[in-house]
Structure 1
Amino acid sequence: MRPISTRTRLATVSALTALGAFASLGTATAAGPALNGEWAPFTRCPVDAPAMLNADGFDRTPQCVVSSSASGTIKLGDTTVTTGRTNLQMGVVQNADGTSTVVAPASGALVAEPATVPGGLLGLMCPSDIFVITGICESLENSSLNKITATMESVGAPYAFDQTAGALTDLPIVALPVRIHLENPLLGDNCYIGTAADPIVLRPENRNYPEFGMTFFQGDGTVDPAGEMSRINLTGATQNDSTFAVPGATGCGLNVGLINAAVNAKTGLPSAAGNNSVTLNDTQTHLTGLNAPGTVVPDAGKVLAENWHSAVE
């Protein structure tokens, strides 16, 4: 195994640890092509994005990052939902001045399947002192229409990525703007908690240090101790954020605003910072990049993209 400088390891580990902190709902299905060998987790890395392709390997070094969490919880106001597996992927360009630029896939950084909200609509908005809502509540009892699902979605690229915080504990690592899509026939298609203009912004922090591992591989993903690529694996970290605010629900129901009010009243939304929290257990995070990007200046981004495409099965 070739030697790696302390500075390089710190930057890589911190960048990688940070991505393990993102929140999730449901069981993620990571769309994208199947990739060979060590490339396998990086199915949605935005290697063809201009910012990645233009990374020269000297002032700007491109990397791919993927993070998943098997389970956890998220509390929004008075409602707590058990979380399942999620998949978050993005590119990270490490800048010579010590900052990092996050590049999200065109489809969004976070991919997660819906989670079932405990109690369904009955639990979400009943009982209510709104006459029309009371009628809906009575009709929902023992009804299949009661089921409601929630899916967390990215609304814009992550930002404020702090490499140093990613290698430490109890410091904000990155800002992730998200919204939660509530789905049920009576809620309509546009019922959200958070919007692109007023998102929930998660700023996760590490609560413990992950276990560290590293492998080397060829450009096509084949394991090789002398390979031109490296992959860092951080496992077992728990992350948490309890500093974010949650806006009220919008777009819920055909009668605009009526079901919004019932949902917000029952769930305690909007909810100020300090009343909400997200915790992710056993995060699994991987980062890959060229071992010696300086040897392919100014084409590091292009070489990374070529290697990624060569690994597509």
Structure 2
Amino acid sequence: MRSVSNRTRIGVLAAFTAFSAVLSTGSAAAKTQLNGDWAPFDRCPVDAPAMLAADGIETIATCIASSSVTGSITLGKSQVPTGNSDLQLGVVQRSDGTNALVAPPGGALTADPAEIPGGLLGLMCPSGIPLVSAICRQLTDNNLNRVTATIEPAGAPRDFNMVAAFSTGEPILTIPVRIHLKNPFLGDKCYIGTTADPVLLKPQNLNAPSLSLQRFAADGTRDDEGEMGRYTFSGADQGDATFAVPGASGCGVAGLLDWAVNLKTGLPSASGKNSVKLDNTSTYFGSPYDPAGLAPNEGRKLSEFWHSAVR
């Protein structure tokens, strides 16, 4: 882990730490069980062409995995929990300090859907509008009332700020997201925010994470003289209270329930009325400890090491 500076490596890692818990999708990407210290990187795209092409000097291939179990996002008058999320990416770091991101084949983000407290009754009931009142009267069955929310990416992250990654109180990057609401009455296409008009989160470190370094063998076994190195960041909370939230769309048949969701939840909602709080994230950043020593095949060796750890 020497050719690209530690400052560059830690900056990239801190950025991913900051947005790991809010970026989540409901898709079930395939995972591979890995041995030992490789375990967090079970979806790292080590076989992607850009990763394999890393030479260990001008470019270095690395794996990032980040997760959070709890958190919440307040949108207007409603608070939506965040589900258990897992972000994994490959990063090709260049010697000039820039980088390119590589997503796994099944997508970078997976998460468990989170249930909205109160369900549909809390989301749009009671109501004096006959259509909505008729729905509210049917919500005696928990399955009809239940609403799940999944926070999904709605575009590529941007505006990365290296200095903010080392500090607290400054936005690290901008992340476009949307919130997918699911319920039998809302249908499967009900979203708060869209890819054209997303929620733009700008997370910042609320406290500095603790940092440790582990050395391990190619197959994942802990070894103080091993070929691989892993930075572990833990204990950091992140947040943002500056983003605006657009209205809901696609809720109900032909979007007939958009206005009901917007009315009860107070959407659209201007900047300053919304917030996100992410609890105790854990982030791992792994690459060969001495990438230059593997030149010109650092990326191919990383792939070889990863496959040797498959259980």
Q: Common fold, TM-score beyond 0.5?
A: yes
Residues of 2 paired with 1:10 and 1:205: CA distance? 18
Distance 2:74 2:87 in 1: 20
Mapping 1:254-265, distance limit 5 Å: 254=253, 256-265=254-263
Q: By how many angstroms is 1:73 displaced?
A: 1.6
Q: Is the 8 A contact 2:46 2:299 kept in 1?
A: yes
TM-score normalised over the length of structure 2: 0.90
Q: Which residue of 1 aligns with 2:124?
A: 125
Matched with 1:17 is: 14
The answer to which of 259-268 and 292-301 deviates more is 292-301
Cα distance, 1:84 vs. partner? 4.2
Code of the residue aligned with 2:257 in structure 1: it is I
Give the letter aligned to residue 186 of structure 1. Answer: F
Q: Supply the AA of the counterpart residue of 1:15.
A: V
Given the alignment of the two structures, is residue 160 of structure 1 paired with residue 159 of structure 2, yes or no? yes
Q: What's the offset of the Cα at 1:120?
A: 0.9
Report if the CA contact (8 A) 2:4-2:93 is conserved. Answer: no
Q: Distance in 2 between matches of 1:111 and 1:286?
A: 16
What's 1:307 paired with?
A: 305
Flag the 1:105–1:272 CA change in 2: closer, same or farther, 3 A. Answer: farther
- Does the CA-based 8 Å contact 1:99-1:162 persist in structure 2? no
The CA deviation string for residues 94-148 of structure 1, in whole angstroms up to 9 with x for no partner, is 2222123222223322211111111111111123343211221222256541111
Residue 269 (structure 1) aligns with: 267
Aligned to 2:68: 69
Q: How far has the Cα of 1:32 moved from its partner?
A: 0.6
Map 1:1-313 to 2 at 5 A.
8-22=5-19, 23-24=21-22, 31-141=30-140, 144-254=143-253, 256-313=254-311
In structure 2, how many angstroms separate the alpha carbons of the residues matched to 1:288 and 1:197?
34
Preserved contact between residue 76 and residue 276 of structure 1 (Cα < 8 Å): yes
Aligned residue identity for 2:57: F
Equivalent pair of 2:3/2:292 in contact (CA under 8 Å):
no
- Asked if the contact 1:25/1:151 (under 8 Å) is kept, the reply is no
Contact persistence 1:61–1:94 (CA under 8 A): yes
Name the aligned partner's letter for residue 242 of structure 1. A
Secondary structure of 1:40's counterpart equals: helix
Contact 2:23 2:152 in 1 (8 A): no
Gaps of 5+ in 2: none
> 8 Å contact 2:24–2:153 — kept in the other structure?
no
Residues 59/41 of structure 1: CA separation in 2 closer, same or farther (3 Å cut): same
Amino acid at match of 1:267: T
Note the aligned Cα RMSD (angstroms). Answer: 2.4
Cα distance in 1 for partners of 2:24, 2:195 equals 21
SS of 1:174 mapped into structure 2: coil
CA distance in 2, matches of 1:17, 1:108: 21
SS at match of 1:41: helix
Deviation at 1:14?
A: 2.2
SS of equivalent to 1:191: strand
Change (3 A) 1:203 1:53: farther
Does the 8 A contact of 1:108 with 1:154 survive in 2? Answer: no
**Contact 2:40-2:65 within 8 A present in 1 as well:** yes
Q: Any unmatched runs of 5+ in structure 1?
A: none
Give me the whole-angstrom Cα distance separating, in 2, the residues matched to 1:165 and 1:249. Answer: 32
SS of the residue 1:158 aligns to: coil
Relative to the length of structure 1, the TM-score reads 0.90
CA distance in 2, matches of 1:26, 1:49: 22
Identity level (%): 53
Deviations 1:170-191 (A, max 9, x none): 2222332222211111111111
Distance in 1 (alpha carbons) for counterparts of 2:212 and 2:143: 47
- Cα 1:166/1:25, change in 2 over 3 Å: closer
Q: Which moved more, 1:140-149 or 1:201-210?
A: 140-149
Aligned-pair distance for 1:226? 1.4
Question: Relative to 1, partners in 2 of residues 1:107 and 1:66: Cα closer, same or farther, differing over 3 Å?
Answer: same
Moved more, 205-214 or 101-110: 101-110
